[in-house]
Amino acid sequence: MADNNKMSREEAGRKGGNKTAREHGKNFYEEIGEKGGKESSRQRNNNNS
């Protein structure tokens, strides 16, 4: 832990990420990754038009 018993941003992010992983599981990350990939592809295709 950081000084004065405060949590650093890094520690808070890790703690939140671990909780999300426990609560939602691997499929959750696969789904959001697929959605993000599709959106990125859509944006790239729109910029090339």
Give the span between the Cα atoms of 29 and 35, in whole angstroms: 10
- Determine the pLDDT at residue 3: 59
Does residue 1 lie in a domain region? no
Does residue 18 lie in a domain region? yes
**pTM of the shown model:** 0.55
- Determine the pLDDT at residue 4: 72
- Determine the pLDDT at residue 49: 62
Q: The tokens 């944006």 sit on which residue?
A: 43
Number of domains comprising the chain: 1
Tell me which residue range forms the domain holding 37.
7-47
Does residue 36 lie in a domain region? yes
- Determine the pLDDT at residue 47: 83
pLDDT in tens, 1-48: 555 789 999 999 999 999 999 999 999 999 999 999 999 999 999 987
Does residue 23 lie in a domain region? yes
Residue 40: which region, alpha, beta or left (left: phi > 0; alpha: psi -120 to 50)?
alpha
Does residue 2 lie in a domain region? no
